[in-house]
Amino acid sequence: MEKHLIALDLDGTLLTDDKKISERNKQAIQKARQEGHIVAIATGRPHRASIDYYNEMDLDTPMVNFNGALIHHPNNSMWDSIHSPMSIRTARKIVHTCKELGVKNVLAEVRDDVFLDRYDEELLEIFHTSGTPITIGDIQHHLNEDPTSILIHPHPEQVPDLRKHLDDQHAELIDHRKWGAPWHVIEVVRTGLNKAVGLHKIAHYYHIPQERIIAFGDEDNDLEMLKYAGVGVAMDNAISELKDVSDYTTESNEGDGIAVFLENYLKLSSKAI
């Protein structure tokens, strides 16, 4: 079979609900790689919160982080990385709005440096900040360079109004996506960035045509990626909007959905391992 590029979202897709890679998924990915296919991670997470999974699968490919705001190769500093932060001016306006609305917290990231508006142990655990340079305190005071992304942690009932405000006031400058439950986090990046942008760059690097890209996802930050891929696969636990644009629906993240699809679609040999 001709070589495919397999793009994997992490949360709600590759990872189980307890944030593990199942043994069946791991074996299917290993089989696919042994048969010549390329596997890459495409996630809204920062590098620091995805590199352990990258290493667990023993990958040696570029990775898409921050929903396309950072496209880089963890093992090759000479690879043509792209870092596309939003302007500090826009970031400060968004943070100001968040403070006026009284959201729970705001976190800004510059690559892997973290700026947190108010100390919150739960939030620090969610965003995998152990061992990460972190500045806690008024973001408007401490953030002095263009951030890769802003993560807003609102009260659940604030999400619709906050997203409407971002559309009304900043649509030309930023894009925003909502993380799935239980976090209800809104991630903001510079406009025009999404996972499909990163996928296009990686596919071009490996000379893989669009029709041989397989992409898996479950949330609204996967919409562009699944539309772009020649083979867009929504998890059974995916939002309905994603299933509507996908070519296939597979089992859930708890049901080894990635392995189920790859074993059938790529006709993976049981002798590969």
Over residues 29-81, the pLDDT tens digits come to: 999 999 999 999 999 888 988 999 999 999 999 999 999 999 999 999 999 99
pLDDT at residue number 125? 74
Checking DSSP bridges between strand 113-116 and strand 149-153, what pairing results, if any? unpaired
Is pLDDT above 90 for 171?
no
Tokens of 213: 């890209």
The 10s digit of each residue's pLDDT in 139-159 is 989 999 999 999 999 998 998
Bridge-partner residues for 234, per DSSP? 217, 249
- What is the overall mean pLDDT for the chain? 92
Mean pLDDT along residues 222-249: 97
pLDDT at residue number 130? 64
pLDDT at residue number 214? 98
Residue with tokens 């990163």: 198
Euclidean distance between CA atoms 63 and 43, whole angstroms: 8
Q: Which of the residues 9, 11, 218, 256 is marked catalytic?
A: 9
Tokens of 55: 């290493």
Euclidean distance between CA atoms 132 and 30, whole angstroms: 30
pLDDT at residue number 273? 47
The 10s digit of each residue's pLDDT in 78-136 is 999 999 999 999 999 999 999 999 999 999 999 878 899 999 887 777 666 667 778 99
Catalytic site residue 138? no
Which of 162 and 1 is assigned the larger pLDDT?
162
Euclidean distance between CA atoms 182 and 150, whole angstroms: 18
Tokens of 190: 């510079």
pLDDT at residue number 156? 87
Q: Are 146 and 110 in contact (CB under 8 A)?
A: yes
pLDDT at residue number 112? 75
Mean pLDDT along residues 149-175: 90
The 10s digit of each residue's pLDDT in 175-225 is 998 876 667 789 999 999 999 999 999 999 999 999 999 999 999 899 999
Burial of 53 (C-beta count, 10 Å sphere; 0-12/13-18/19+): buried
Tally the C-alpha atoms within 13 A of residue 54's C-alpha that lie toward its C-beta. Answer: 22
Euclidean distance between CA atoms 60 and 217, whole angstroms: 21
The 10s digit of each residue's pLDDT in 241-260 is 999 999 999 999 999 999 99
Checking DSSP bridges between strand 186-190 and strand 174-178, what pairing results, if any? antiparallel
